[in-house]
A and B are shown apart, each in its own frame.
Chain A
Amino acid sequence: MKLSDQQKRLCEHVINVFESGSIEGDYAAISIYADGPNGIKQVTYGRSQTTEYGNLEELIEMYVNSNGLYSAQLKPYLAKIGVTPLLDDATFKQLLRDAAKKDPLMRKVQDEFFDKRYFQPAMAWANAGGFTQPLSALVIYDSFIHSGSIPDFLRKRFPAALPVKNGVEKDWIKQYVDTRHEWLSQHSKKILQATIYRTQCFKNEIARDNWALAKIPIVANGVNVVD
């Protein structure tokens, strides 16, 4: 899978809109979710969200080692992340927000971190499957961001074969998007149904034959993404 810089940027910007509502993404976003070990609440941080008991320590370590504006203040927290609950530590959360808002280095580190954690695994999966089209990259990347992978239970619901197994790439992507759209739109919980703006965006791009992502803007959840 070879993407030009512009095609990769388009993919990232579309996903940023899905995730945060803005093209640039929200690098300072902090959410508290009860999805830590044994259902405990944990801090979730950054443009594509990494968790206190997941990979937040790795992200902060990368930043600390980059000698950013807030590296010295964040360094003592390295020993605490994933060990001592930090959801009520207002200083820690403010440092995370300040670093993302005031230090371009934190944004750069997040870009590298999320590229390594999500984009590269998604492209590795796409390459192994024999995909070549930029729109396929966007669809697969989105699944890795949203569901962490290409869920097996969805793959079992449609017949198309992977390109690497002599299937037709556009057929596979179309059927996967349709299947994912149907799963989300018919979900028993309305709030999950609300996420179909992602698959609707892909359906629109497939309908206008935008496999090279050359036709811009791409309308993502009502936002025009042009670059």
Chain B
Amino acid sequence: MNLNATNNVLRRSILAICGFAGVWLLIACSQSQPGLWIPENWKPSLEQVREQIDGLANQAAPASQQQLGQSSQNMADVADAQLFISYIQLMQRLDQQQRADLFKEQQAWLDARNQQASAAVISKGGTLAPLEYNNAFIEITEARLKNLQQRGGNHR
């Protein structure tokens, strides 16, 4: 599968997963009492998509800058989608006050992520800049993902 085909599959996967996750979040938020809305055995995964993009970006014949930029954006989008899923999974296990606290915490964290990722860009307007931004974005998002996953595990 070439890079463009993979990118299309990836986009569709992210849209589908985020769409389902979004619906569940809306349902969850509309409930006055906490409870489980996501079936325990439903665990959407983007790991393989992520590994595939990563592999394509690092294949023997190097991709063009445009392809590398798009791949890095796709990896950032996958990481963000994974975080979104974990956030919803954690949210559904909390009581109302905890949900309100997590919402505020996540809002502040999103602002901080943008500031930190922007600060990591060394290039001044060149085509390398999106790669630098996305790499920092991915690193920061992965750290948050681990944190939310751990907290989700603690609430089981």
Residue of chain A at shortest CB distance from B133: A35
Which residues of B does A touch, CB under 8 Å?
A: 54, 57-58, 61-73, 75-76, 113-114, 117-118, 121-135, 137
Is A48 close to B, CB under 8 A? yes
Would B118 and A195 count as touching, CB distance under 8 A? no
Stretch at the interface among A70-78, A145-153, A211-219: A145-153
- Given A31-B70, A39-B117, A195-B68: A148 and B125 interface contact (C-beta under 8 Å): yes
Which residues of A does B touch, CB under 8 Å?
A: 17-21, 26, 29, 31-35, 38-39, 44, 48-49, 54, 143-149, 151, 153, 189-195, 197, 221-222
Chain A residues within 8 Å of B130, by CB: 31, 33-35, 44
Residue of chain A at shortest CB distance from B70: A31
Chain B residues within 8 Å of A197, by CB: 62
Nearest Cβ on chain A to B140's Cβ, whole angstroms: 11
With beta carbons under 8 angstroms apart, the residue of A153, A195, A222 that contacts B65 is A195
DSSP majority for the B interface?
helix
Residue of chain A at shortest CB distance from B73: A33
Chain A residues within 8 Å of B61, by CB: 222
6 smallest A-B Cβ distances: which pairs?
A39-B114, A148-B124, A148-B125, A148-B126, A21-B64, A33-B130
Would B64 and A19 count as touching, CB distance under 8 A? yes
CA–CA, A56 and B23, complex, Å: 36
With beta carbons under 8 angstroms apart, the residue of A17, A39, A146 that contacts B126 is A146
Residue of chain A at shortest CB distance from B137: A34
Would B57 and A194 count as touching, CB distance under 8 A? yes
Chain B residues within 8 Å of A147, by CB: 122-124, 126, 128-129
With beta carbons under 8 angstroms apart, the residue of B63, B75, B118 that contacts A194 is B63
